[in-house]
């Protein structure tokens, strides 16, 4: 079952006009929230990022936080599986094709939930390969836009190389990866690029930063040169679905000794423990927005 404009219905019955600006222009924004044991993880933060993306895209937010929460819970309840990835998007609505904003269009809201597939433990143990590419996307990567052709083309580079991710450099500096944020470790210090319009402010990125601060792991946000990524002791990617995942080679060259490193192992464990705590709390009432 999926959600379309206030109704929960079978996916085959969910129909959107071909004039929807999401279809015509990619004129919309989205979110993906991981749900563990039917409890959404960091829902308030995802809703805050959605609000920000909508405001930057100048699309009206059709629902209050409480409405979003109710609709998301309704959708979660209609699925047969417990761990879910809830995807939701808002487009500028249906209108005659014209680049300028339509006067009276209602935003279109679509949500679906799929089984959440996190990397299995044996893959986490092994880590994954990455390749690099020039970051040729637009300059507003902080907006979680549904116009993902740039990310799609860049992800395909690693897909065709049989690698997990494409790590992106712009003007000789690390930005992020095609569908995740990037952290490196150098001499025991965790580093990641600061938030800017060139990267998506990841919810997992924030969780990693909080866990590092709580557990006394040194972490700094700073501009990172391409050669510092290639020469790093460890490289990780983070996202709601990949969680924290170690990259063990870049363009065929080993990162560190070619195995997930000790700082990664520590952070992975902390992340899993933190998730367990949230799941044990397991109460919907505890999910604030």
Ligand X SMILES: Cc1ncc(COP(=O)(O)O)c(C=O)c1O
Choosing from 22, 40, 202, 261, the residue that interacts with ligand X (CB under 6 A) is 202
**The one among 75, 200, 211, 247 contacting ligand X by CB under 6 A:** 200
Pick between residue 94 and residue 287 the one whose CB is nearest to ligand X: 287
Among residues 226, 225, 234, which one has the least CA distance to residue 255?
A: 234
Nearer residue to ligand X within complex by CB, 102 or 150: 150
Query: Known catalytic residues?
Result: 144
- Residue 192 binds ligand X, judged by CB under 6 A: no
38: exposed, middle or buried (Cβ count in 10 Å: 0-12, 13-18, 19+): middle
Backbone torsions φ then ψ of 7, nearest 5 degrees: -120, 145
| Dist. CA 186–CA 164, nearest whole Å | 22
Which residues, listed in sequence order, are joined to residue 253 by a DSSP beta bridge?
Answer: 250
Judged by CB under 6 A, how many residues of this single chain contact ligand X? Answer: 14
The span from the CA of 236 to the CA of 165, in Å, is 10
Strand order in the sheet with 28-36: 7-9, 2-4, 108-115, 84-91, 28-36, 39-40
The site map against ligand X for 14-43 (x = CB under 6 A) is ------------------x-----------
What are the tokens at 150? Answer: 């740039």
- Assign residue 258 a region (left: φ > 0; alpha: ψ between -120 and 50; beta: otherwise): left
Q: Which of 91, 113, 158, 180 binds ligand X (CB under 6 A)?
A: 180
- Beta pairing class for 234-239 and 243-250: antiparallel
Q: Where are the alpha helices (DSSP H) in the chain?
A: 21-25, 43-57, 65-77, 121-126, 149-160, 203-214, 226-230, 262-281
Of 108, 191, 204, 249, the residue at the interface with ligand X (CB under 6 A) is 204
Contact stretch for ligand X (CB under 6 A) within 74-82, 85-93, 200-208, 223-231: 200-208
The stretch near ligand X (CB under 6 A) out of 3-11, 20-28, 172-180, 209-217 is 172-180
Closest separation in Å from C-beta 257 to ligand X:
27
According to the binding rule CB under 6 A, does residue 176 interact with ligand X? Answer: yes
| Span of 21-29, 73-81, 99-107, 203-211 interacting with ligand X by CB under 6 A | 203-211
Binder of ligand X out of 91, 166, 240, 249 (CB under 6 A): 240
C-beta closer to ligand X: residue 1 or 130: 130
Residue 151 or 191 with smaller CB distance to ligand X: 151
Q: Which stretch binds ligand X (CB under 6 A): 123-131, 233-241, 244-252, 260-268?
A: 233-241
The answer to the question of residue 234 lying near ligand X (CB under 6 A) is: no
**Between residue 137 and residue 156, which ones bind ligand X under the rule CB under 6 A?**
151
Instruction: Confirm or reject binding of residue 119 to ligand X (CB under 6 A).
Output: no
Contact flag: residue 179 with ligand X (CB under 6 A): yes
Query: Around Cβ 73, how many Cβ atoms within 10 Å?
Result: 18
| Inter-residue contact 67 to 50 (CB < 8 Å) | no
> 276 CB contacts (<8 Å, ≥6 apart)?
none
Residues of this chain that bind ligand X (CB under 6 A): 32, 151, 176, 179-181, 200, 202-205, 238-240
């Amino acid at each position: 079952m999926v959600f379309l404009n206030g109704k929960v219905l079978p996916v085959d019955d969910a129909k959107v006009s071909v004039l929807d600006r999401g279809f015509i222009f990619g004129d919309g924004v989205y979110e993906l929230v991981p749900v563990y044991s039917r409890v959404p993880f960091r829902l308030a933060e995802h809703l805050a990022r959605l609000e920000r993306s909508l405001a930057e895209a100048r699309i009206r937010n059709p629902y209050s936080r409480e409405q979003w929460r109710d609709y998301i819970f309704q959708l979660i309840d209609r699925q047969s599986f417990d761990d879910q990835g809830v995807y939701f998007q808002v487009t500028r609505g249906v209108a005659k094709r014209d680049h300028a904003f339509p006067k009276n269009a209602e935003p279109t809201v679509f949500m679906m939930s799929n089984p959440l597939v996190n990397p299995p433990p044996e893959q986490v143990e092994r880590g994954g390969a990455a390749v690099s590419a020039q970051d040729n996307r637009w300059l507003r990567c902080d907006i979680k836009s549904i116009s993902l052709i740039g990310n799609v083309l860049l992800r395909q580079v690693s897909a065709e190389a049989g690698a997990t991710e494409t790590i992106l450099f712009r003007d000789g500096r690390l930005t992020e990866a095609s569908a995740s944020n990037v952290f490196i470790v150098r001499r025991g210090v965790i580093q990641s690029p600061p938030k800017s319009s060139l990267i998506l402010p990841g919810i997992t990125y924030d969780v990693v930063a909080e866990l590092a601060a709580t557990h006394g792991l040194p972490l700094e946000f700073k501009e990172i040169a391409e050669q510092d990524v290639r020469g790093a002791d460890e490289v990780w990617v983070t996202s709601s679905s990949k969680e924290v995942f170690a990259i063990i080679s870049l363009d065929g060259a080993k990162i560190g000794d070619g195995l997930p490193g000790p700082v990664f192992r520590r952070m992975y464990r902390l992340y899993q423990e933190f998730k367990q705590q949230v799941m044990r709390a397991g109460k919907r009432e505890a999910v604030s927005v």
